Amino acid sequence: MNTYLDDYRKKLVKAEEAANLVKSNDIIDYGMFATKPVDFDLALSKRVGQIEKVSVRGTGTVPPFPAVIQNDPEQKTFQYFSWYFTLLDRMAGDKGMACHLPFNYHEATLLAYHHRDLHHIKPTVWCAQVTPMDRNGCFNFGLGNSHNRGIALWADKVIVEVNENMPRCLGGNDEYIHISEVDYIIEGTNSPIFATPKMPEASEAERKIAEFIVPHVENGSCLQLGIGTLPNLIGEMIAHTDVRDLGIQSEMFCDAMVTLYEAGKVTNAMKSFDINKSSFSFCLGTKETYDFIHDNPRLASCKVHHTNNPDFIAQNDKVISINNIVEVDLLSQVCSETSGFRQISGTGGQLDFVIGAFHSRGGKSFLAFSSTYKDKKDGQVKSRIKPLLTPGSVVTVPRSMVHYLVTEYGIVNMKARSVWGRAESLVSIAHPDFREDLIKSAQENGIWSRTNRIPF
């Protein structure tokens, strides 16, 4: 039997040797989320000044801070790009050291598999953290399936950085790369895999928002949840209801889903495909969540086109999608990723699930947000519902796609509402201190009628 050990030894290199393969004008793709390489990144950063015009792409950058940014603040050699901004990406972006790549998340796999004519984005080198090789010669992508395999197979050089701490996430699909598809292997220093701290206590506003959403979860609902205190609160609240046979199809597997499993709420028995398994494409959570997903046959790690394709999402009945937003205007245009021109996160899979959930029979998408926020610059409380989006803010979800909007003051269904009806509905869930100003603005712009008889 071929144990692949000879191939493994032939391809084994030091991180410094792998970094020396990079040439000027190369495009480097790092693994997604917690599969970002650590040893290779550090070794590559030491080549500042030796080469030039090297582009490095990441997705949802998590600690440690990328060395190619930290060790090259003047960007003499490296420029960093991110498909989805996290706190680290924002920190770099605020200093002009990182740039966002806008796209709908489900299309990431399509770029790698079906649009290879896009030569300007073709990767020269791909490198990601993976699990140790199994007896079949496969390295598992662990916490970041996403579009790793597609990008790897598109790249000219394929490098894996083995980390014994990486959880093995069973497929699904596209969850591995075989040694025959790998050019070089780095045995990493087995650095700790980034895990999130336990979420803080939910605010009173978040509790009220959750109370509006949870009653919409029925027996057999299929859930998509994101990261943050609100999704975890919703998971805890659902765990104390009498609903059963929940399914999960989500781009991200989060802590709240472990809570639902432990409460016996998740069976995936009512799903249309991936029956009896929770489908996800990446995981960010606590160490306890990582322990839960490791080698767990009840879960299915899948490429993001599988989890996020709106057509696939819609095949399941009663899809419930819950996501956060940054702001919304009185036309019901939703911004979830920027604050003016400042990039906060990314489109990610929000639009994918907004569309997919509504197209699902009995499905609902909820865009949730606290009605106000405190401006860090002037300390004033401001409304997230605005007459118009902040100049420079992008439209993440067009008004025609928005389904439910939820604040601590209420929940409104925006589908098929008139322009007047949208403005009136948004005013009704705004903080009371801002309602009169919003009404005045709506009247001035001809998008509101003080009749109180608007049926839709």
Query: Which residues participate in catalysis according to the annotation?
Result: 251
For 276, left (φ over 0), alpha (ψ -120 to 50), or beta? left
DSSP 191: P
Are 312 and 352 in contact, with CB atoms under 8 Å apart? Answer: no
Distance of CA 265 to the CA centre of its chain: 24
Q: Which two tokens stand for residue 226?
A: 């994101």
Residue corresponding to tokens 């095949």: 315
- Cα–Cα distance for residue pair 238/256, rounded to 1 Å: 10
C-alpha of 174 from chain center = 18
**Is 361 exposed, middle or buried, given 0-12, 13-18 or 19+ CB atoms closer than 10 A?**
exposed
How many CB atoms neighbour CB 66 within 10 A?
A: 29
- Number of neighbouring beta carbons within 10 Å of residue 269: 12
Q: How many residues in the chain?
A: 456
d(C-alpha 327, C-alpha 341), whole Å: 14
Q: Which amino acid is at 134?
A: D
What span, in angstroms and rounded, lies between the C-alpha atoms of 349 and 376? 28
- 56 torsion bin: left (phi>0), alpha (psi -120 to 50), beta (else): beta
Give the SS3 label for residue 333: coil
Classified as helix, coil or strand, 274 is coil
* DSSP strand pairing (381-383 vs 372-374): antiparallel
State both tokens at 99: 């740039």
